């Protein structure tokens, strides 16, 4: 067997909250003015009550509403594959499994949180959302989700991606979203996730019909993504594995990593590995500190690894990993030694993606290709030592809308790597 | 339940040959010079012996080689979905099922035949293939398949698509294929599948290391696609349906239609419906006659519906349906009344695709959107009569590489429809 599916009624009906399993209790976000812990009232202009509750919850499990399950069922549970042809090509004794989140409507893991976010907002009477998007994976996911609940959507898209990747804009428009390039006030700026967050938060401020939605970083976002790891855990058992030796995912804001890795945090023998681009090395070269989530300093201060909220990463193709900060939950796990992090240059990432496409047939998103690079290196290390390592990585999205990146790689046009 | 999967060992291990089930025996292809039936020797410069044998076989079942199954297993069996959200949006008593061929490496049904074609050629010592491609779905599929068997590949891509859809070229290159725009000798010509076939056949002529591969039209190609219908038949029974009332697919050369529909030919109560673009109405407005498969008259004469081998269809977005002729097997079924055909203008096709994307979350390829249009109309007809019709359509491919078409549709830039 090389693929394990689950019946539709095996979609997890509760999200896994990692908070009770952290080595230390999480530090609270601080108000940007007072530097006091933010309360629900501070967040109410941005988020619905249900999500604010999830943001600070210490409950071990949180129920998934039936209306959300009804929509997740369009593509979940997602398949778990064993990459036997890759194993053979590498000559490794490792067994490589990957969870395929590319089968969602938007082609990535992002709809797992877009759907509940749209649902809770609609339930509280909100009729319009604003958001930012990098490469466009989050924006497409939220556009799809808003279409399900009749919400209007305004997307601020990082200009570098807006210009390089017009197809994702079209996908958002197909689902009824409106898209503009960010920063809106500086047409010569390539943009960044931080700046786009500022634009989206500004648009939302003072409009009672409008809330803001974030595709990563925050606790409730990573919570919604844990369906990935919960399903994978069950599927690995169907595959005859007890637990993986290592769980690998790319990390920008941390949502696909948290999604696949958090359910394994209580299993002490399982290594957890974050993979980031060398040109935006938040976890590997940043400092752990309170910093703003956005460029303009409009958001609460978050306790996280950061390169500084004014850091503008180079225009690499993995737009979803161009973020100065990181999820506070991921940051805490790295700081406390429960999670490792590694950074790769863009060229080596695409080498791995092309090898994976050749032998496994799947063209990965540049973000996801980071996980593939680290997986191949883990499998080669296992070959060195002759170890039967079990590797699980998250195939967070396909690259059909990122083929210009492969074009640049194949024709030697990737810019020189940083670091 | 809204999705039915099959275990990996339920991939059909034999292809279904429709020939013994045709109302009349098929007419042979004729030699373009002598107008005598072509023999195996005439085809040997183009195709391996195994495929020539399949082209003329009257055996009811033909075994799928184990080496081919090993690769098909990367994505097969594909899921069968029930489109309950579309049913609800239409308010129809019809039950709508679709077979999801978009989950393959190339994002369409095309790898189902690309893999066996590459296999049989490699097995007979061929080291290089040439082919044509329209929108690029066939070229990407064959590039993936050639990568599995270490074959070189030269693709002649219809110029209109080469210019409109650069991403599919990049996908072919990612899998190691070489791609040029066709016709090679006229850079101002938008191209057509017929002209690209001429280019590919010319390249192959006189080179003993090189064969030619065709992505549709021929009997062996449609034979390989019957895994679609065989799986769907089994999955419909899992869903509690005896048989569908109607099977629907888009039709250019006929391969996705033949694939899903042929296994239902022996079931007299099942209607079979071909959907084509009004701007290239081969089955609905063509004549049944012997005609060349290509523009230059290099191929054998095939007995089929044709608009004339010098017909150049307008540059519509469903590039895969821009073919002057049609599969002889499909043509015979339409001529003899076993299959129906309908044609739609491009605008109405995209209206259906946007509705499907909104409620079912999936962005279809423009070719596939023709099947969605006809499915919606069948479901609305069932609503008129209050009939519990069971509809099966083939979701032949996703539209992530065709989003420029949606862009044109959403912004009112589709050219005026023909007919």
Contact B361 A171 (CB under 8 A): no
- pLDDT at A166 (0 to 100): 86
Write out the two tokens for B148: 């599995």
pLDDT digits (tens, 9 = 90+) for A164-209: 778 999 999 999 999 999 999 999 998 888 889 999 999 998 899 9
pTM for the model? 0.96
Q: Which of A2, A74, A175 comes nearest B358 by C-beta?
A: A175
- Cα nearest neighbour of A83 on chain B: B74
Which residues of chain B lie closer than 8 angstroms to A74, CB-CB? 2, 85, 360-361
Q: For residue B107, give the chain A residue with the closest CA.
A: A400
Rounded Cα gap, residues B322 and B314, in angstroms: 8
Distance from CA of A242 to the nearest CA of B (A): 22
A275 inside domain? yes
Question: Does residue A143 fall inside a structural domain?
Answer: no
| Contact in structure between B409 and A176 (CB atoms under 8 Å) | no
Q: How far is A268 from chain B (nearest CA, A)?
A: 32
For B170, name the nearest residue in chain A, comparing CA atoms only. A407
| Rg of chain A, C-alpha, whole Å | 20
Phi, psi (5° rounding) for residue B285?
A: -130, -5
Reported ipTM exceeds the 0.85 cut: yes
Q: Check whether A418 has a pLDDT greater than 80.
A: no
Find the closest chain A residue to B175 by CA distance.
A358
**A355/A400 Cα distance (integer angstroms):** 16
> What pLDDT is attached to residue A164?
78
At residue A416, the pLDDT reads 54
Q: What residues of chain A have any CB closer than 8 angstroms to a CB in chain B?
A: 1-3, 5, 8, 71, 73-75, 85, 103-105, 107, 111, 144, 147, 166-167, 170-171, 173-176, 354, 357-358, 360-363, 398, 400-401, 403-404, 406-407, 410
- pLDDT value of position B418: 39
What does the DSSP assignment read for A322-387? --SS--HHHHHHHHTTSSEEEEE-HHHHHHHHHHHHHHH---B-HHHHHHHHHHHHHHHHHHHHT-
- What's the CATH number where A315 sits? 3.40.50.1100
Please report whether residue A401 resides in a domain: yes
Contact in structure between A284 and A385 (CB atoms under 8 Å)? no
> In this predicted model, what pLDDT tens digit does every residue of B306-359 receive, in sequence order?
999 999 888 788 888 888 999 999 999 999 999 999 999 999 999 999 999 999
Q: Which two tokens stand for residue B345?
A: 């203008």
Q: How far is CA B32 from CA A369, B36, B253, in A?
A: 50, 8, 20
Q: Give, in order, the Cα–Cα distances in Å from A30 to each of A53, A59, A298.
A: 16, 22, 12
User: With contact defined as beta carbons under 8 Å apart, do B359 and B85 qualify?
Assistant: yes
Count how many domains chain B has.
1
Output the pLDDT for position B417.
46
Residue A415 scores a pLDDT above 80: no
pLDDT in tens, A326-359: 999 999 999 999 999 999 999 999 999 999 999 9
Q: Are A297 and A327 in contact (CB under 8 A)?
A: no
Count how many Cα atoms sit within 13 Å of the Cα of residue B20 in the half-sphere of its side chain. 9
Q: Is the pLDDT of residue A417 over 50?
A: no
Provide mean pLDDT across the span A136-157: 97
Alpha-carbon gap: A117 to the closest alpha carbon of chain B (Å): 17
**pLDDT of A296 strictly over 90:** no
The pLDDT score that the predictor gives to residue B78 is 97
Nearest CA in chain B to A352: B174
- Shortest Cα–Cα distance, B64 to chain A (Å): 19
pLDDT by residue for chain B (419 residues), tens digit each? 899 999 999 999 999 999 999 989 999 999 988 999 999 999 999 999 999 999 999 999 999 999 999 999 999 999 999 999 999 999 999 999 999 999 999 999 999 999 999 999 999 999 999 999 988 899 999 999 999 999 999 999 999 889 877 899 999 999 999 999 999 999 999 888 888 999 999 999 889 999 999 999 999 999 999 999 999 999 999 999 999 999 999 999 999 999 999 999 999 999 999 999 999 999 999 999 999 998 888 899 999 999 999 998 887 888 888 889 999 999 999 999 999 999 999 999 999 999 999 999 999 999 999 999 999 999 999 999 999 999 999 999 999 999 989 999 999 988 754 33
Cis check: omega of the bond before B77, within 30 degrees of 0: yes
Task: State the pLDDT at residue A228.
Answer: 98
Contact B403 A174 (CB under 8 A): yes
Compute the distance between CA of residue B407 and CA of residue B304 in angstroms, rounded to an integer: 35
The tens digit of pLDDT for each residue in A100-121 reads 999 999 999 999 999 999 999 9
Give the angle subtended at the CA of A264 by the CAs of A262 and A270, to the nearest 5°.
130
Per-residue pLDDT tens digits for A197-240: 999 999 998 899 999 999 999 999 999 999 999 999 999 999 99
Report yes or no on A158 lying in a domain: no
* Contact check, Cβ <8 Å, A2/B363: no
- Quick check: B105 and A361 CB within 8 A? yes
Q: Output the DSSP codes for B146-174.
A: HHHTT-EEEEEEEHHHHHH-HHHHHHHHH
Closest Cβ opposite residue B361 in set A105, A357, A362: A105
Residue of A277, A291, A373, A279 whose CA lies nearest to A331: A291
Residue A81 lies in a domain: yes
In a domain, A205, yes or no: no
* C-alpha radius of gyration, chain B, whole number: 20
B13 belongs to a structural domain = no
Structural domain of B79 = 68-108+221-410
Cβ-Cβ contacts under 8 Å, B7 against chain A: 1
Query: What is the spatial distance between Cα B164 and Cα A134, in angstroms, rounded to a whole number?
Result: 25
Closest residue in chain B to residue A102, using alpha carbons only: B103
Extract the tokens encoding A391.
């590797």
Asked if A360 lies within 8 A of B74 by C-beta distance, the reply is yes
User: How many Å lie between the alpha carbon of A361 and the closest alpha carbon of chain B?
Assistant: 5
Of A174, A401, A406, nearest to B406 by CB-CB distance is A174
Within 8 A of B103 by CB-CB distance, chain A residues are 103
Cα separation, B339 vs B292, in Å, equals 23
Q: Mutation test of the interface with chain A: which of B141, B150, B403, B410, choosing the one with the most A Cβ atoms within 10 A?
A: B403
In a domain, B196, yes or no: no
Q: Are strands B271-277 and B340-344 parallel, antiparallel or unpaired?
A: parallel
> With an 8 Å Cβ cutoff, are B144 and A361 in contact?
yes
């Amino acid at each position: 067997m090389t693929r394990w599916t689950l019946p539709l009624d095996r979609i997890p009906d509760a999200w896994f909250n990692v908070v009770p399993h952290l080595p230390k209790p999480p530090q609270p976000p601080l108000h940007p003015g007072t530097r006091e812990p933010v309360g629900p009232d501070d967040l109410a202009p941005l988020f619905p009550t249900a999500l604010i509750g999830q943001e600070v919850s210490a409950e071990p499990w949180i129920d998934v509403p039936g209306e959300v399950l009804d929509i997740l069922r369009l593509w979940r549970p997602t398949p778990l594959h064993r990459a036997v042809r890759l194993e053979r090509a590498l000559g490794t004794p490792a067994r490589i499994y990957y969870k395929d989140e590319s089968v969602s409507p938007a082609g990535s893991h992002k709809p797992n949180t877009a759907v509940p976010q749209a649902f809770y907002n609609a339930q509280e009477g909100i009729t319009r959302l604003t958001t930012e998007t990098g490469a466009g994976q989050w924006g497409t996911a939220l556009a799809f989700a808003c279409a399900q609940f009749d919400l209007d959507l305004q997307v601020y898209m990082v200009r570098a991606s807006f210009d390089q990747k017009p197809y994702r804009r079209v996908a958002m428009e197909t689902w009824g979203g409106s898209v503009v390039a960010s920063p809106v006030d500086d047409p010569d700026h390539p943009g960044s996730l931080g700046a786009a967050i500022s634009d989206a938060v500004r648009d939302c401020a003072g409009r009672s019909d409008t809330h803001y939605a974030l595709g990563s970083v925050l606790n409730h976002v990573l919570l919604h993504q844990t369906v990935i790891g919960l399903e994978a855990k069950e599927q690995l058992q169907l595959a005859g594995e007890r637990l993986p030796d290592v769980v690998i995912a790319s990390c920008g804001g941390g949502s696909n990593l948290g999604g696949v890795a958090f359910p394994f945090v209580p299993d002490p023998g399982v290594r957890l590995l974050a993979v980031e681009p060398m040109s935006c090395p938040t976890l590997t070269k940043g400092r752990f500190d309170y910093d703003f989530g956005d460029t303009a300093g409009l958001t609460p201060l978050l306790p996280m690894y950061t390169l500084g909220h004014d850091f503008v990463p180079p225009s690499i193709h993995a737009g979803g990993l161009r973020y100065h900060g990181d999820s506070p939950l991921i940051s805490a796990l790295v700081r406390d030694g429960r999670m490792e992090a590694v950074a790769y240059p863009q060229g080596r990432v695409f080498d791995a993606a092309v090898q994976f496409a050749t032998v496994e047939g799947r063209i990965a998103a540049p973000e996801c290709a980071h996980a593939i690079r680290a997986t191949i290196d883990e499998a080669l290390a296992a070959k060195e030592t002759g170890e039967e390592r079990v590797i699980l990585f998250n195939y967070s999205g396909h690259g059909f809308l990122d083929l210009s990146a492969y074009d640049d790689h194949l024709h030697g046009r990737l810019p020189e790597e940083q670091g």
